[in-house]
Structures are given as C-alpha cells and as structure tokens.
Amino acid sequence: MSRPLIAVLDYGIGNLRSAQKGLERMGADARLTADSGLIADAAGVVLPGVGAFGPCMAALGRTGLDDRARAAAASGRPFLGICIGLQLLYEGSDEAPGMSGLGILPGTVRLLAGGVKRPQMQWNRLEVRTRIPMLAGLGGAWVYFVHSYAAPMADNVAATCDYGGPVAAVIADDNVWATQFHPEKSARPGLRLLENFVDQARSAAAVAWRAS
Amino acid sequence: MSPASGPAAVSGNARVISCLDVDAGRVVKGVNFVDLADAGDPVELAARYDQQGADEVVFLDITASSDRRETTVDLVHRTAEEVFIPFTIGGGIRAVDDARRLLRAGADKVSVNTAAVSRPELVAEIAGEFGSQCAVVSIDARRTHGGAFPFEVFTHGGRTPTGIDAIEYAIRVTELGAGEILLTSMDRDGTRDGFDLELTRAVVGVVNVPVIASGGVGTLDHLAEGVVKGGADAVLAASIFHFGAHTVAEAKAHMAAAGIPVRPADA
C-alpha cells in the first residue's frame, strides 16, 4: 500500500511531533512542515496543536500557515484538526476575545460550562452521533482529552463526550475532520482514528490521480 | 487559559499514572530517593505501560544536570516514537527554553519543581507560551509536626526545606497558570504505607485543577484511597508496577470495583 504524504502543519508550538509519529505508525509519509509546496502536494493536511488559542493563532499568522490551512481545507482534500487545531478552525474563542480564528467553520469556541474542573484532563468515552468513516471502530472508545474550551454543538458534531453535559468531541464537516481529544495520545483507539484518516487521504489521492 | 483556584468541582474519570524515575537514561526507584535500584530501559517500560492500559507516564529525571540534558531530550524523542499515551517529563527544567526543547521532542507536559519554588514566574512563562495543559507543578511536601502550617515544600528531591506553606504554594502556582499539581508526600515516598491523604485532601480542596497523588503506594487499596478519600484526580505509582507486584490492569480493576470510574485497561 502506498504511503500517502500527510503535511502536519508546523507552527513551532508545543508537542507536534507525536501527531507526526502516530501518522507514520499508521502508514503515512508524515512531514512536519510549513512549506507551501509540500502542503499543496500533500494527500492530507493535519493541523495539530497544544496550547492556547491566542498564541497558536498568532503563530499561524506569523508563519503564513493560516492562509495555507484555509486553502487546504477549501481544496476538498482530507483535513484533520486536533485539539487546539480543532478550535482554531472556528471564527473565534472565549479564550482570546477579539482575535479571529481561521473561520473555516462557523461559530465561536466557548469555555466549558457547568461546574466542571478545567481543563478536562482525562480519558473519556466517545458517544457517536453520526456514523462516518472517520469513526470506524471507535464506537464507545476511550480517548484522551485536555481542554478548557469546546466547539459549539451543531449538526457537524459527529461524536460527543459527557463532561457536565455533552461536549463536542469530533467534528466532521465534509472533508474537514477534527477531534477535541488527542488521537496521537489515545492508545489503540486514537491510532485507529489516525489510520482512518490516512486511509481517507490515500483514497482521495487515488481518486484525484485518476481524474487528472 | 487561567484556571482559577477555589474549591474542587465535579471530578471525572480517575487516571492511573506510572512513574519512572530516570537517571542518565535508565529507570531507577529508590526508597526515599536514596538506595537506587535499576529497573530497566525507560522507553521500553513506558511502552509496556501503554500496552497494559496505563493512562499516563511520568518521567522524573532525578539527577538532571546540564551535561545530561541531551540524554533527557533523546529519551523524550525515543519515547514519542513508541508511546501513544500522554507523557510528562520533569527534572532540571529551569527556563522556558528547557520546556520548549522537551515539548518539541515529543513530551506532552513538563513538570517543574525546584526552579518554580525559586522563581514562581517560570510557571506563568511556560503556561503563557505553551498553555496551562502542559504546565505541571510538582510539589514535594513534608509534615511540619506542629509548625506554623501543616505541610512544607521541599526541593532538590526532597532534601531542602524552603519554609514555604505547601497549601499556599499550591494556590499560588495555580493562579500563575499551573494546569496540574503533582503532589508527593516526602514522608510517605518509598514507605509503601499509602498516600498522605490529609495532604492530598488539603490541596484538592483549594485548587480547581487536577491533582495527582503521589508517594507511598504499596497496595492496590492505596490507589483507590487516593481517589475516594484523598479526592485526587489521578494516582501515581512506581515500584508496585515496576517490580511486577501488580499490573496496571489489576490496579484499574480494583479501582473500578471500589466504584471509581476509570478507563478499562483493555479499552
């Protein structure tokens, strides 16, 4: 089987290497990169991340990766946001009032409500709402969350976890996938999700190649 | 993100954390941090704990000195290739640059101890740059036995008294942006007498971030007590796992039987 090229967007913040290693383990040629050519050629693009919305968004802007991320999402190629990489896809966040997000998805990321400890730093169980390829093999799976903010509940929320009420755990909006949890830190189920993404990127690349 | 201090809110699923004390790239675990015995390769051990169902791994580089820092970075680098659960590295982190190097190499969190006591702003700097979720403050505390406050912060692997009230200090570092407290009772560490539950409760009661109970685990009951009686969000143990007395799966089954929500080891 081919090893599809996956561009893991490198904006110099925190631990981005684990996502790259997880993707490699599941059959991808994963590169940590900010290079526009490589990102344009990739079969799939991953926006990983740890940290705070403001500094991450600023780093994306500094490196020009904000425009490259928007272009990749608009290209129809498989796109995966992870943790803060999910939150950055929205228009903004309570964490950085007045700062614009990537605006790829509508709405604002909100502080976790309802008398819960913040951050949610624990393993929690996925409740699947929409059966999609991304979640193949992940029904009821335990995955690792670290976050204090969450995406708005909408039709594109494909799975939730329970933390003082349902919290958006997985987003699937056409080619744009995103997880609030860290698949690269979620043992077997997390690696399975990365494998699902690599498979998706491989098939999408094959379709694009036949069409060209 | 600035987690507020205050009384504990709703807790979630308890985590079982395996701790690997590391010296020059090898795992060690001593009684009260003296008399060290070699228990193997840290990367191999961490990968084994991942497969066994541990929720996290913590590496404490107990003799970290500047000439050994590259060994630690290399350890983190190799771990990130083999281990797909969160891992924390502590020991010898004195500046934001130290934290950056370890996070870039693949660590999920960095734990600061002595350096944060000398300069608490370090916690704010790490949290500000990389987020509170990766800023763990490790507190080594001892009972004062009738002092002005009940528990005192110690540094340098539990050898040096600081005159600082451990409870006040926990509140302070949380206000500065610590996302998690790794709380070790130096009275209990290595004794196998169980956690200092009073210490655990006292800290859990004043901060609103997760608290990891550490120091003294000798039985599976001790792990359950840390959560049920101590109120901890996570429990950390070393020897009982390293020397095969119990597996992580046994620990989780025991905790689940005690009514504690945990991720099943075979999930």
Domain range for A40 = 5-211
Residue identified by tokens 């350890």 is B75
Cα(A161)–Cα(A121) distance, integer angstroms: 13
> What is the pLDDT averaged over residues A91-108?
97
Count CB neighbours of B103 within 10 A: 26
Residue in A72, A93, A74 with CA at minimum distance from that of residue A83: A93
DSSP class of B10: B
Residues of B in contact with A189 (CB under 8 A): 267
Cα(B170)–Cα(A203) distance, integer angstroms: 51
The first and second tokens of residue B267, run together, are 């999930």
Name B180's Cβ contacts closer than 8 Å, sequence gap at least 6: A121, B109, B135, B136, B137, B209, B210, B211, B212
> What is the pLDDT averaged over residues A44-53?
91
Burial profile A54-72: b = 16 or more Cβ within 10 angstroms, e = fewer = bbbbbbbeeeebbebbeeb
Q: Scan residues 11-70 of A and list those with Cβ closer than 8 Å to B.
A: 13-18, 21-22, 25, 50-52, 55
Instruction: Report whether B13 contacts A122 (CB < 8 A).
Output: yes
- pLDDT over 90 at A197, yes or no: yes
> What is the pLDDT averaged over residues A149-153?
97
Q: Could you report the per-residue pLDDT of B156-213, keeping only the tens digit for each?
A: 888 899 999 999 999 999 999 999 999 999 999 989 999 999 999 999 999 999 999 9
Instruction: Report whether B236 contacts B212 (CB < 8 A).
Output: yes
- pLDDT over 50 at B34, yes or no: no
Burial profile B218-246: b = 16 or more Cβ within 10 angstroms, e = fewer = bebebbbbbbbebbbbbbbbbbbbbeeeb
Single-letter residue type at B115: A
pLDDT at B36: 37
Q: Which of A95, A124, A184 sits opposite B12 (nearest CB)?
A: A124
Q: Where are the alpha helices (DSSP H) in chain B?
A: 42-52, 69-82, 96-105, 114-118, 121-130, 166-176, 197-204, 220-228, 239-242, 248-257
DSSP chain A: ----EEEEE--S-S--HHHHHHHHHTT-EEEEE--HHHHHH-SEEEE---S-HHHHHHHHHHHTHHHHHHHHHHTTS-EEEETHHHHTTSSEETTSTT-----SSSSEEEE--SSB-SSEEEEEE-EESS--GGGTT-TT-EEEEEESEEPPP-TTEEEEEESSSEEEEEEEETTEEEESS-GGGSHHHHHHHHHHHHHHHHHHHHHHHHH-
pLDDT at A104: 98
Q: What number of C-beta contacts closer than 8 Å exist between A and B?
A: 127
How close A115 comes to chain B (CA, Å)?
Answer: 6
The first and second tokens of residue B229, run together, are 């009686």
Side-by-side strand order, sheet with A108-111: A92-93, A108-111, A149-150
Q: How far apart are the first and last CA of chain B?
A: 31
Q: Which of A95, A147, A161, A184 is catalytic?
A: A184
Residue identified by tokens 């730093």 is A121
pLDDT band at A79 (very low <50, low <70, confident <90, very high): very high
- CATH number, domain of A20, equals 3.40.50.880
**Coil, helix or strand at residue B254:** helix
Instruction: Report whether A45 contacts A39 (CB < 8 A).
Output: yes
Q: Does A113 touch chain B (CB under 8 A)?
A: no
Cα(A202)–Cα(A6) distance, integer angstroms: 10
Q: What percent of chain A has pLDDT over 70?
A: 100
pLDDT at B23: 85
Cα(B210)–Cα(A44) distance, integer angstroms: 35
Q: Domains for chain B: give ranges and CATH numbers.
A: 15-257 (3.20.20.70)
**Coil, helix or strand at residue B207:** strand
Cα(A125)–Cα(A127) distance, integer angstroms: 7
Cα(A52)–Cα(B135) distance, integer angstroms: 12
> What is the pLDDT averaged over residues A149-167?
97
The first and second tokens of residue B261, run together, are 């929500």
Q: Scan residues 159-198 of A and list those with Cβ closer than 8 Å to B.
A: 163-164, 182, 184-187, 189-191
Cα(B50)–Cα(B190) distance, integer angstroms: 24
> What is the pLDDT averaged over residues B229-255?
92
Q: Could you report the per-residue pLDDT of B97-143, keeping only the tens digit for each?
A: 999 999 999 999 999 999 999 999 999 999 988 888 899 999 999 99
Using CA coordinates, name the residue in chain B closest to A59: B129
The first and second tokens of residue A6, run together, are 């996956």
> What is the pLDDT averaged over residues B249-256?
96
Q: How many structural domains is chain A composed of?
A: 1
